[in-house]
Protein backbone atom coordinates (compact mmCIF):
# COMPACT_ATOMS: atom_id res chain seq x y z
CA UNK A 1 0.00 0.00 0.00
CA UNK A 2 1.35 3.40 -0.97
CA UNK A 3 0.02 6.87 -0.35
CA UNK A 4 -0.53 9.44 -3.09
CA UNK A 5 -1.43 13.04 -2.24
CA UNK A 6 -3.29 15.15 -4.76
CA UNK A 7 -3.50 18.91 -5.07
CA UNK A 8 -6.89 20.30 -4.15
CA UNK A 9 -7.05 22.15 -6.79
CA UNK A 10 -45.55 31.24 -10.27
CA UNK A 11 -48.74 29.30 -10.53
CA UNK A 12 -50.82 28.23 -7.53
CA UNK A 13 -49.42 25.32 -5.55
CA UNK A 14 -50.77 21.86 -6.26
CA UNK A 15 -51.25 19.44 -3.37
CA UNK A 16 -49.31 16.44 -4.62
CA UNK A 17 -48.46 14.74 -1.35
CA UNK A 18 -48.33 11.40 -3.18
CA UNK A 19 -47.49 12.08 -6.84
CA UNK A 20 -47.32 9.29 -9.35
CA UNK A 21 -43.72 8.15 -9.56
CA UNK A 22 -42.13 5.87 -12.13
CA UNK A 23 -39.63 3.47 -10.55
CA UNK A 24 -36.74 2.21 -12.66
CA UNK A 25 -33.90 -0.15 -11.91
CA UNK A 26 -31.21 -0.84 -14.43
CA UNK A 27 -27.90 0.46 -15.70
CA UNK A 28 -27.20 3.90 -14.23
CA UNK A 29 -24.69 6.66 -14.91
CA UNK A 30 -23.39 8.48 -11.82
CA UNK A 31 -20.17 9.57 -10.16
CA UNK A 32 -19.28 7.71 -6.97
CA UNK A 33 -19.45 9.18 -3.47
CA UNK A 34 -15.71 9.84 -3.40
CA UNK A 35 -16.27 13.05 -5.31
CA UNK A 36 -17.90 14.59 -2.22
CA UNK A 37 -14.35 15.03 -0.92
CA UNK A 38 -13.82 17.75 -3.54
CA UNK A 39 -16.14 20.16 -1.72
CA UNK A 40 -15.95 18.74 1.82
CA UNK A 41 -12.19 19.27 2.12
CA UNK A 42 -12.71 22.96 1.40
CA UNK A 43 -15.42 23.27 4.04
CA UNK A 44 -13.78 21.54 7.03
CA UNK A 45 -10.49 23.38 7.00
CA UNK A 46 -8.49 21.21 9.41
CA UNK A 47 -9.68 17.86 8.05
CA UNK A 48 -7.87 15.41 5.80
CA UNK A 49 -9.56 12.78 3.63
CA UNK A 50 -7.56 9.62 3.04
CA UNK A 51 -9.16 7.43 0.39
CA UNK A 52 -8.33 3.75 0.75
CA UNK A 53 -8.65 2.37 -2.75
CA UNK A 54 -7.11 1.46 -6.06
CA UNK A 55 -5.18 3.55 -8.58
CA UNK A 56 -8.46 4.08 -10.42
CA UNK A 57 -9.81 5.88 -7.34
CA UNK A 58 -6.66 8.00 -7.13
CA UNK A 59 -7.05 9.01 -10.78
CA UNK A 60 -10.72 9.88 -10.25
CA UNK A 61 -10.04 12.17 -7.29
CA UNK A 62 -7.06 13.76 -9.00
CA UNK A 63 -9.09 14.44 -12.15
CA UNK A 64 -12.18 15.66 -10.30
CA UNK A 65 -10.09 18.10 -8.24
CA UNK A 66 -7.78 19.14 -11.05
CA UNK A 67 -9.12 22.68 -11.00
CA UNK A 68 -7.63 23.08 -7.51
CA UNK A 69 -4.21 21.62 -8.27
CA UNK A 70 -2.36 24.67 -6.94
CA UNK A 71 -4.03 24.61 -3.52
CA UNK A 72 -2.58 22.91 -0.45
CA UNK A 73 -3.62 19.25 -0.63
CA UNK A 74 -5.86 17.99 2.14
CA UNK A 75 -6.83 14.69 0.61
CA UNK A 76 -4.96 11.74 -0.79
CA UNK A 77 -5.17 8.07 -1.68
CA UNK A 78 -3.69 5.09 0.13
CA UNK A 79 -3.36 2.95 -2.99
CA UNK A 80 -4.22 -0.71 -2.61
CA UNK A 81 -1.72 -2.83 -4.52
CA UNK A 82 -2.55 -6.24 -6.01
CA UNK A 83 -1.06 -8.05 -3.04
CA UNK A 84 -3.23 -5.96 -0.68
CA UNK A 85 -6.40 -6.74 -2.62
CA UNK A 86 -5.48 -10.41 -2.69
CA UNK A 87 -5.09 -10.45 1.08
CA UNK A 88 -1.40 -11.45 0.88
CA UNK A 89 -0.27 -8.66 3.20
CA UNK A 90 -1.60 -7.23 6.44
CA UNK A 91 -3.29 -4.11 5.11
CA UNK A 92 -3.95 -2.86 8.66
CA UNK A 93 -0.22 -2.61 9.35
CA UNK A 94 0.28 -0.73 6.09
CA UNK A 95 -2.60 1.62 6.85
CA UNK A 96 -1.25 2.35 10.33
CA UNK A 97 2.15 3.14 8.83
CA UNK A 98 0.69 5.51 6.25
CA UNK A 99 -1.52 7.33 8.77
CA UNK A 100 1.42 7.75 11.14
CA UNK A 101 3.54 9.14 8.31
CA UNK A 102 0.75 11.47 7.20
CA UNK A 103 0.12 12.93 10.66
CA UNK A 104 3.86 13.43 11.21
CA UNK A 105 4.09 15.34 7.91
CA UNK A 106 0.91 17.33 8.48
CA UNK A 107 0.57 18.45 12.13
CA UNK A 108 -2.27 20.79 11.05
CA UNK A 109 -4.59 17.79 10.63
CA UNK A 110 -7.10 17.60 13.49
CA UNK A 111 -9.74 15.40 11.87
CA UNK A 112 -8.82 12.46 9.63
CA UNK A 113 -11.43 10.61 7.56
CA UNK A 114 -10.63 7.14 6.26
CA UNK A 115 -12.79 6.91 3.14
CA UNK A 116 -13.53 3.46 1.79
CA UNK A 117 -13.69 3.31 -2.00
CA UNK A 118 -15.20 -0.19 -2.03
CA UNK A 119 -16.93 -2.54 0.42
CA UNK A 120 -14.61 -4.21 2.93
CA UNK A 121 -15.06 -7.50 1.08
CA UNK A 122 -13.15 -5.94 -1.81
CA UNK A 123 -10.42 -3.96 -0.06
CA UNK A 124 -10.00 -6.52 2.76
CA UNK A 125 -10.14 -3.81 5.44
CA UNK A 126 -12.68 -2.97 8.13
CA UNK A 127 -12.15 0.78 8.13
CA UNK A 128 -14.50 1.40 11.05
CA UNK A 129 -12.34 -0.78 13.31
CA UNK A 130 -9.18 0.79 11.88
CA UNK A 131 -10.53 4.28 12.60
CA UNK A 132 -11.37 3.32 16.18
CA UNK A 133 -7.89 1.88 16.71
CA UNK A 134 -6.12 4.88 15.19
CA UNK A 135 -8.31 7.39 16.98
CA UNK A 136 -7.39 5.87 20.34
CA UNK A 137 -3.75 6.15 19.36
CA UNK A 138 -3.75 9.74 18.13
CA UNK A 139 -6.38 11.43 20.32
CA UNK A 140 -6.58 14.18 21.46
CA UNK A 141 -4.32 15.51 18.70
CA UNK A 142 -6.28 13.90 15.85
CA UNK A 143 -9.76 12.36 15.73
CA UNK A 144 -10.02 9.53 13.14
CA UNK A 145 -13.36 8.60 11.58
CA UNK A 146 -14.42 6.47 8.63
CA UNK A 147 -17.16 6.29 6.03
CA UNK A 148 -17.74 4.72 2.64
CA UNK A 149 -17.70 6.61 -0.64
CA UNK A 150 -18.12 3.46 -2.70
CA UNK A 151 -19.67 3.98 -6.10
CA UNK A 152 -21.11 0.49 -5.79
CA UNK A 153 -23.28 1.67 -2.90
CA UNK A 154 -23.82 5.41 -3.32
CA UNK A 155 -24.48 8.22 -5.75
CA UNK A 156 -21.93 11.01 -5.62
CA UNK A 157 -23.76 13.38 -3.24
CA UNK A 158 -24.31 10.55 -0.77
CA UNK A 159 -20.60 10.77 0.00
CA UNK A 160 -21.37 13.97 1.94
CA UNK A 161 -24.26 12.23 3.70
CA UNK A 162 -22.00 9.37 4.79
CA UNK A 163 -19.32 11.81 5.96
CA UNK A 164 -21.69 13.94 8.05
CA UNK A 165 -23.44 10.87 9.45
CA UNK A 166 -20.06 9.64 10.72
CA UNK A 167 -19.58 13.00 12.49
CA UNK A 168 -22.90 13.02 14.35
CA UNK A 169 -21.89 10.52 17.08
CA UNK A 170 -18.89 12.78 17.78
CA UNK A 171 -20.99 15.90 18.37
CA UNK A 172 -21.02 17.05 22.00
CA UNK A 173 -24.28 16.67 23.90
CA UNK A 174 -26.15 19.93 24.37
CA UNK A 175 -26.51 20.98 28.00
CA UNK A 176 -28.50 24.14 27.31
CA UNK A 177 -32.21 24.34 28.08
CA UNK A 178 -32.68 26.90 25.30
CA UNK A 179 -33.74 25.84 21.82
CA UNK A 180 -30.97 26.01 19.21
CA UNK A 181 -30.99 25.80 15.42
CA UNK A 182 -28.68 23.55 13.43
CA UNK A 183 -28.30 24.02 9.66
CA UNK A 184 -27.24 20.72 8.11
CA UNK A 185 -25.43 20.41 4.78
CA UNK A 186 -22.34 21.96 3.19
CA UNK A 187 -22.81 25.57 2.24
CA UNK A 188 -20.27 27.98 0.79
CA UNK A 189 -18.91 30.27 3.51
CA UNK A 190 -20.44 33.32 1.84
CA UNK A 191 -23.89 31.68 1.87
CA UNK A 192 -23.45 30.62 5.48
CA UNK A 193 -22.58 34.20 6.45
CA UNK A 194 -25.68 35.51 4.65
CA UNK A 195 -27.94 33.13 6.55
CA UNK A 196 -26.27 34.00 9.86
CA UNK A 197 -27.06 37.68 9.28
CA UNK A 198 -30.70 36.91 8.48
CA UNK A 199 -31.16 34.62 11.48
CA UNK A 200 -29.56 37.24 13.71
CA UNK A 201 -31.91 39.93 12.41
CA UNK A 202 -34.85 37.59 13.11
CA UNK A 203 -33.67 37.21 16.70
CA UNK A 204 -32.52 33.59 16.29
CA UNK A 205 -29.15 33.82 18.01
CA UNK A 206 -28.15 30.21 18.70
CA UNK A 207 -27.37 28.95 15.19
CA UNK A 208 -24.78 26.30 14.33
CA UNK A 209 -23.75 24.57 11.12
CA UNK A 210 -22.88 20.99 10.20
CA UNK A 211 -20.28 20.57 8.82
CA UNK A 212 -18.44 23.30 10.72
CA UNK A 213 -15.51 25.23 9.26
CA UNK A 214 -13.11 23.44 11.60
CA UNK A 215 -13.32 20.42 13.86
CA UNK A 216 -12.91 22.49 17.03
CA UNK A 217 -16.34 24.02 16.32
CA UNK A 218 -18.42 20.84 16.25
CA UNK A 219 -22.02 21.85 17.05
CA UNK A 220 -23.73 20.48 20.14
CA UNK A 221 -26.93 18.50 19.71
CA UNK A 222 -29.73 17.30 21.97
CA UNK A 223 -33.49 17.31 22.58
CA UNK A 224 -33.60 21.11 22.34
CA UNK A 225 -31.98 21.13 18.89
CA UNK A 226 -34.09 21.86 15.84
CA UNK A 227 -32.43 21.35 12.47
CA UNK A 228 -32.98 22.49 8.91
CA UNK A 229 -31.63 20.48 5.99
CA UNK A 230 -29.83 22.69 3.49
CA UNK A 231 -29.36 19.76 1.09
CA UNK A 232 -31.92 17.09 0.09
CA UNK A 233 -29.49 14.15 0.07
CA UNK A 234 -28.79 13.86 3.80
CA UNK A 235 -31.12 11.03 4.84
CA UNK A 236 -28.59 9.14 6.99
CA UNK A 237 -27.37 12.31 8.68
CA UNK A 238 -30.93 13.36 9.53
CA UNK A 239 -31.66 9.94 11.00
CA UNK A 240 -28.52 10.09 13.17
CA UNK A 241 -29.47 13.56 14.43
CA UNK A 242 -32.98 12.38 15.26
CA UNK A 243 -31.45 9.47 17.18
CA UNK A 244 -29.61 12.11 19.25
CA UNK A 245 -32.98 13.74 20.07
CA UNK A 246 -32.93 16.58 17.51
CA UNK A 247 -36.09 17.57 15.61
CA UNK A 248 -36.17 18.21 11.87
CA UNK A 249 -38.07 21.26 10.63
CA UNK A 250 -40.02 20.37 7.50
CA UNK A 251 -39.45 22.89 4.72
CA UNK A 252 -38.65 23.27 1.03
CA UNK A 253 -34.96 23.71 0.30
CA UNK A 254 -33.40 27.20 0.03
CA UNK A 255 -33.21 27.38 -3.77
CA UNK A 256 -34.70 30.46 -5.38
CA UNK A 257 -36.76 33.18 -3.74
CA UNK A 258 -39.74 30.99 -2.89
CA UNK A 259 -37.68 28.11 -1.50
CA UNK A 260 -35.40 30.35 0.55
CA UNK A 261 -38.36 32.26 2.02
CA UNK A 262 -40.21 29.07 2.99
CA UNK A 263 -37.00 27.57 4.45
CA UNK A 264 -36.36 30.64 6.59
CA UNK A 265 -40.03 30.82 7.57
CA UNK A 266 -39.89 27.26 8.92
CA UNK A 267 -37.15 28.37 11.32
CA UNK A 268 -38.94 31.62 12.16
CA UNK A 269 -42.17 29.79 13.01
CA UNK A 270 -40.31 27.25 15.16
CA UNK A 271 -38.69 30.09 17.15
CA UNK A 272 -41.86 32.20 17.45
CA UNK A 273 -40.69 35.07 15.22
CA UNK A 274 -43.42 37.63 14.57
CA UNK A 275 -44.72 37.59 10.98
CA UNK A 276 -44.29 41.34 10.60
CA UNK A 277 -40.65 41.11 11.68
CA UNK A 278 -40.08 38.23 9.28
CA UNK A 279 -41.44 40.24 6.36
CA UNK A 280 -39.41 43.31 7.36
CA UNK A 281 -36.15 41.34 7.55
CA UNK A 282 -36.58 39.27 4.37
CA UNK A 283 -38.40 41.69 2.06
CA UNK A 284 -35.34 43.66 0.83
CA UNK A 285 -33.46 40.52 -0.18
CA UNK A 286 -36.60 38.97 -1.66
CA UNK A 287 -37.30 42.01 -3.82
CA UNK A 288 -33.68 42.21 -4.94
CA UNK A 289 -33.65 38.53 -5.91
CA UNK A 290 -36.97 38.75 -7.75
CA UNK A 291 -35.67 41.67 -9.83
CA UNK A 292 -32.49 39.75 -10.63
CA UNK A 293 -34.48 36.74 -11.83
CA UNK A 294 -36.30 38.91 -14.38
CA UNK A 295 -33.04 39.09 -16.35
CA UNK A 296 -33.25 35.35 -17.07
CA UNK A 297 -36.98 34.75 -17.42
CA UNK A 298 -37.01 35.74 -21.11
CA UNK A 299 -34.35 33.10 -21.84
CA UNK A 300 -35.99 30.34 -19.79
CA UNK A 301 -39.77 30.88 -19.79
CA UNK A 302 -41.55 28.22 -21.82
CA UNK A 303 -38.37 26.18 -22.38
CA UNK A 304 -38.70 22.43 -21.87
CA UNK A 305 -36.27 20.73 -19.48
CA UNK A 306 -35.45 17.06 -18.82
CA UNK A 307 -33.66 15.95 -15.63
CA UNK A 308 -31.65 12.75 -15.61
CA UNK A 309 -31.17 11.36 -12.06
CA UNK A 310 -27.83 12.43 -10.66
CA UNK A 311 -27.51 14.54 -7.50
CA UNK A 312 -30.88 14.31 -5.65
CA UNK A 313 -31.18 18.08 -6.17
CA UNK A 314 -33.55 17.50 -9.07
CA UNK A 315 -36.90 17.94 -7.26
CA UNK A 316 -36.06 21.32 -5.64
CA UNK A 317 -34.46 22.53 -8.88
CA UNK A 318 -37.53 21.53 -10.88
CA UNK A 319 -39.77 23.40 -8.45
CA UNK A 320 -37.63 26.53 -8.76
CA UNK A 321 -37.46 26.46 -12.54
CA UNK A 322 -41.16 25.71 -12.96
CA UNK A 323 -42.61 28.19 -10.50
CA UNK A 324 -40.14 31.08 -10.64
CA UNK A 325 -38.92 30.92 -14.25
CA UNK A 326 -41.91 29.28 -15.99
CA UNK A 327 -39.97 26.39 -17.50
CA UNK A 328 -41.86 23.26 -18.58
CA UNK A 329 -40.86 20.00 -16.89
CA UNK A 330 -40.68 17.13 -19.37
CA UNK A 331 -39.38 14.61 -16.82
CA UNK A 332 -37.76 14.93 -13.41
CA UNK A 333 -35.49 11.99 -12.62
CA UNK A 334 -33.84 11.54 -9.24
CA UNK A 335 -31.63 8.72 -7.91
CA UNK A 336 -33.67 8.40 -4.73
CA UNK A 337 -36.89 10.10 -3.63
CA UNK A 338 -37.10 10.66 0.12
CA UNK A 339 -40.80 11.49 0.37
CA UNK A 340 -40.66 12.75 3.96
CA UNK A 341 -37.78 15.17 3.38
CA UNK A 342 -39.20 16.33 0.04
CA UNK A 343 -42.86 16.49 1.08
CA UNK A 344 -43.02 20.29 0.95
CA UNK A 345 -41.25 20.34 -2.43
CA UNK A 346 -43.57 17.76 -3.97
CA UNK A 347 -46.60 19.87 -3.04
CA UNK A 348 -45.22 22.74 -5.13
CA UNK A 349 -44.61 20.83 -8.35
CA UNK A 350 -47.12 21.30 -11.19
CA UNK A 351 -49.91 18.73 -11.50
CA UNK A 352 -49.12 15.71 -13.61
CA UNK A 353 -45.34 16.17 -13.65
CA UNK A 354 -43.45 13.04 -14.68
CA UNK A 355 -41.18 11.93 -11.83
CA UNK A 356 -38.77 9.00 -12.13
CA UNK A 357 -36.99 7.42 -9.17
CA UNK A 358 -33.90 5.40 -10.01
CA UNK A 359 -32.54 4.88 -13.47
CA UNK A 360 -32.53 2.63 -16.48
CA UNK A 361 -30.31 4.83 -18.58
CA UNK A 362 -31.25 3.32 -21.95
CA UNK A 363 -34.97 3.83 -21.34
CA UNK A 364 -34.43 7.39 -20.12
CA UNK A 365 -32.24 8.22 -23.09
CA UNK A 366 -34.99 6.93 -25.38
CA UNK A 367 -37.57 9.17 -23.68
CA UNK A 368 -35.24 12.18 -23.81
CA UNK A 369 -34.53 11.67 -27.50
CA UNK A 370 -38.24 11.33 -28.24
CA UNK A 371 -39.10 14.48 -26.28
CA UNK A 372 -36.24 16.61 -27.70
CA UNK A 373 -36.22 19.02 -24.71
CA UNK A 374 -34.63 22.44 -24.96
CA UNK A 375 -32.27 21.50 -22.11
CA UNK A 376 -31.18 18.17 -20.59
CA UNK A 377 -29.59 18.16 -17.12
CA UNK A 378 -27.32 15.13 -16.82
CA UNK A 379 -23.97 13.76 -15.72
CA UNK A 380 -20.73 14.22 -17.61
CA UNK A 381 -20.95 10.74 -19.12
CA UNK A 382 -24.19 11.56 -20.95
CA UNK A 383 -23.57 15.22 -21.81
CA UNK A 384 -21.13 14.77 -24.70
CA UNK A 385 -23.17 12.08 -26.53
CA UNK A 386 -26.33 14.17 -26.22
CA UNK A 387 -24.52 17.30 -27.40
CA UNK A 388 -23.27 15.31 -30.40
CA UNK A 389 -26.89 14.53 -31.19
CA UNK A 390 -27.72 18.24 -31.23
CA UNK A 391 -29.19 18.59 -27.74
CA UNK A 392 -28.28 21.30 -25.25
CA UNK A 393 -27.10 19.97 -21.90
CA UNK A 394 -26.25 21.15 -18.41
CA UNK A 395 -23.74 19.32 -16.22
CA UNK A 396 -25.54 18.30 -13.03
CA UNK A 397 -22.32 18.21 -11.01
CA UNK A 398 -21.83 21.96 -11.47
CA UNK A 399 -25.00 22.53 -9.45
CA UNK A 400 -23.32 20.90 -6.46
CA UNK A 401 -19.99 22.72 -6.71
CA UNK A 402 -21.54 26.18 -7.18
CA UNK A 403 -23.07 28.30 -4.37
CA UNK A 404 -26.78 28.28 -5.29
CA UNK A 405 -28.63 28.55 -1.95
CA UNK A 406 -30.17 31.75 -0.65
CA UNK A 407 -31.58 34.99 -2.01
CA UNK A 408 -28.35 36.47 -3.35
CA UNK A 409 -27.55 33.28 -5.28
CA UNK A 410 -31.00 32.91 -6.93
CA UNK A 411 -29.92 34.73 -10.08
CA UNK A 412 -26.66 32.75 -10.19
CA UNK A 413 -28.72 29.57 -10.12
CA UNK A 414 -30.94 30.81 -12.95
CA UNK A 415 -27.89 31.78 -14.99
CA UNK A 416 -26.52 28.23 -14.76
CA UNK A 417 -29.55 27.05 -16.75
CA UNK A 418 -29.72 30.04 -19.07
CA UNK A 419 -26.04 29.94 -20.03
CA UNK A 420 -26.07 26.78 -22.21
CA UNK A 421 -29.22 27.95 -23.99
CA UNK A 422 -27.71 31.37 -24.70
CA UNK A 423 -24.51 29.71 -25.91
CA UNK A 424 -26.48 27.43 -28.25
CA UNK A 425 -28.40 30.39 -29.67
CA UNK A 426 -25.17 32.26 -30.39
CA UNK A 427 -23.63 29.24 -32.11
CA UNK A 428 -26.70 28.81 -34.28
CA UNK A 429 -26.70 32.50 -35.13
Closest C-alpha among 45, 44, 42 to residue 68: 42
The CB-side HSE value for 215 (13 A sphere, CA atoms) comes to: 21
Count Cβ neighbours within 10 Å for each residue of 51-78 and write b for 16 or more, e otherwise.
Answer: bbbbeebbebbbebbeebeeeebbbbbb
Cα–Cα distances in Å, from 215 out to 120, 167, 236, 242, 268? 27, 10, 20, 21, 28
β strands within 195-265, DSSP E: 207-210, 225-229, 247-248
Supply the Cα-derived Rg of the chain in whole angstroms: 22
Q: Check the annotation: does 8 bind a ligand.
A: no
Phi, psi of 62 (to 5 degrees): -65, -40
378 marked ligand binding residue: no
What is the C-alpha to C-alpha distance for residues 274 and 326, in angstroms, rounded to an integer? 32
**Tell me, what DSSP letter sits at residue 11?**
P
Contact present, 238 and 183 (Cβ < 8 Å): no
What are the E-state strand segments in 131-219?
143-148, 180-184, 207-210
Q: Which residues are annotated as a binding site for [4Fe-4S] cluster?
A: 32, 57, 118
* Annotated binding-site ranges: 32, 57, 118
Amino acid sequence: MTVQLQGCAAPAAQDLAAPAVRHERGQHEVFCGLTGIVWLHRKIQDAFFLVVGSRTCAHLIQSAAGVMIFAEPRFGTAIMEEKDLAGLTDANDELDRIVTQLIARRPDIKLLFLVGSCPSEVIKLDLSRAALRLSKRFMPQVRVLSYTGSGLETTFTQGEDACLASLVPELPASTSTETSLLVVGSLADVVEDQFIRIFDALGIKSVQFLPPRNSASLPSVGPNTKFLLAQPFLADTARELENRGATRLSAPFPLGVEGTTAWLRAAADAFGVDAALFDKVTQPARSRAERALENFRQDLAGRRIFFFPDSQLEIPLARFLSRELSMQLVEVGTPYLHREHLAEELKLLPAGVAITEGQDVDLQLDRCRAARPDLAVCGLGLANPLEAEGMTTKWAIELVFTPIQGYDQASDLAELFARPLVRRAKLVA
